[in-house]
Structure 1
């Protein structure tokens, strides 16, 4: 059944962010085997740190091990992701934290851990900023969750324009800033993608929750952002049905929008086909070097 559902999507490559794993879910190699679709990975920054903090002996030890783990993730995967929007907000300080600030925060965290008071969840904004800047240094695409999420977010702090100064400072870094999902800030994300050359967006997660109303969501993302800066994303999680349903919703919306433009004579058929191919997979292949 899994194989049949994946085959129906038409997807020819999967980019899997591994931070949302669960014991009941397939591993990436298992998903690749079941779906018969090549899989690449994106590493979640907070998960990298959370896997190392329990056994860290000191701040220098953790810093050294984080650097090695991120080097490995950059070598094996296609990029990084931060969920600072969940843990803090996108209105984080855009300044790179100093080594003294980072060491002091790690020392405090290790004291908390040794006292049995750490819950295993990285939520310190200084350390999350440190991880973000370390990812930027590795010049890989860096994803940010934006907008709609679970009940532990403050939605107004997930507006991507709140991280504008950080985006300005990373313009020539060699890292692409990927704004994921974006609802209800798809227009704000489109603005950032329009004015900053290294910013891209998708509307993946919101499609599953807006259903047949997702046409307007996708249309709004196309208003201002260049077609070369928008990526398709299913944001599917756990169930192959989600991949198929989200692909169907996106195809339905993008087909209606471009058919309307062609029928009204504002876009030629060949140009429409070229743009749809870019949105569906071409842009992702280029940005993630697939």
Structure 2
């Protein structure tokens, strides 16, 4: 585990762009922690590296930190899936491939893959597996958050909004970064006393109160599947069309009207990502089976 610790420390010095920001990943995983069963939480803590101090949320940004390094560059396409420009729908067979045309190399494919790895180890009773389950857990948690960011299921023509230049108030930026980071950062500063934990608690209260009747439908997958990233991606691209891209043409100045109308969408997606991540982990890790770990 030493190399993971060293890499984690080193990457704190690196500026990372084009990813649901650290605040977003922290929020999703912190929400998920609150809905894990006792056994699932125990298994998560067993898998986490020592420096995480038993907190999944503290390492949920790790896949963003490493993707720029040669050894991990293969993970770069796994953070998103783009749809044809102006197509407000998602289809796995049409959309899930990387820039080299390799199929299944996208965020939904990654979620299927790491769910399968954890299922095989903890439910499949196969002691011969060589999966690194620590990595599988962290990658799954990270990509579950990514697929809920609407512009991680954006258009191919503008690379999910990364080349669509706008202003966020007075700041020059791109539309993807607005949704990754700036909406959350602005909300934390404006409404939550510059305290991310306060924002997370507010979202948790909404889950308990305003959204309580929606929780069952959020966790539900068709055909009793363990995870349904295709559904999450389809939701995201519809939100991208209806909220992210709407009134955000190149050169647009996005201010209060845009911020205040989009913040509820962002907060709900953080909530959905957290609830769904917990639901998946509760199914996969509902009792402790200590096999298949290769660290």
- TM-score for the superposition, normalised by structure 1: 0.26
**Larger strand percent:** 1
Structure whose alpha-carbon radius of gyration is higher? 1
Higher relative contact order (CA closer than 8 Å, sequence separation 6+): 2
- TM-score for the superposition, normalised by structure 2: 0.25
